[in-house]
Structure 1
Amino acid sequence: MPKILAQGKTIECEQGSNLRKILLQNSINLYNDGARVINCRGIGSCGTCAVKVEGEVSAANWRDQARRSLPPHSPTTDLRLACQTLVLGDVKVTKFDGFWGQGSRIVWTPKG
């Protein structure tokens, strides 16, 4: 079973699990500020669940690519939308500041 390391927690999940669902089920603070209330609930349209993912995950689908191609995101960053990402192997997740998680300051790392 793949392991997700995020915000100081190690979480085991089934291969192919949706990253957003697993993080939220395990009380990981995926959203910054008002995005906790105002987000698209996982359909890939808002971009507020953007995180840096290191490890084996699915390729970015069209929703992930389309949303990250619009400001304030950029298709050249190494962020992914957690709601459109499937966990295929062990991963480490980092969250950045900004309403959409697009900032340069780290909010939390895999270790805490």
Structure 2
Amino acid sequence: MPQITAQGKTIECESGANLRQVLLKNGIDLYNGGSTVINCHGLGTCGTCSVEIEGEVSPMEWREKTRLSLPPHNPEKSRRLACQVRVLGDIRVTKHSGFWGQDDAIQWE
């Protein structure tokens, strides 16, 4: 079973599990500020669940590529949308500051 390290916790999940669902189920603060309330609930349209990921996850598909190519995101930054990511192996997740997690300062790792 893959392990996710995020916000000082290590969580196990099934291979192929949705990262957003696993993080929220385990009490990880995935959203910054008001985006806790104002988000797309996993549809991949708002971009507020953006995180940096090290490790083996599913490849990026069109919906995620499209959202991350629009402001305030920057496609050159190594961010992913947790709601669109499937966990395939052990990963380490870092959340950055900003409403959409778009800034460079680290919120948590």
- SS across alignment from 1:71: coil
Tell me how large the CA RMSD over aligned residues is. 0.4
2:11 corresponds in structure 1 to 11
The offset of 1:54, in angstroms, is: 0.3
- 1:26 is matched by which residue type in structure 2? N
User: 1:1-112 alignment to 2 at 5 Å?
Assistant: 1-109=1-109
Deviation at 1:37, TM superposition (A): 0.3
The secondary structure found in structure 1 opposite 2:83 is helix
Per-residue deviation, 1:103 = 0.6
For residues 17-55 of structure 1, give each alpha carbon's deviation from its aligned partner in whole angstroms, at most 9, with x where no partner exists.
000000000000000000000000000000000000000
Gaps (5+ residues) in structure 2?
A: none
Runs of 4+ aligned residues of structure 1 deviating over 3 Å after TM superposition are none
TM-score, normalised to structure 1's length?
Answer: 0.96
Task: Provide structure 1 residue ranges, at least 5 long, that are not aligned to the other structure.
Answer: none
Residue correspondences, number: 109
**C-alpha separation between the residues in 1 aligned to 2:45 and 2:80?**
13
Percent identical among aligned pairs is 62
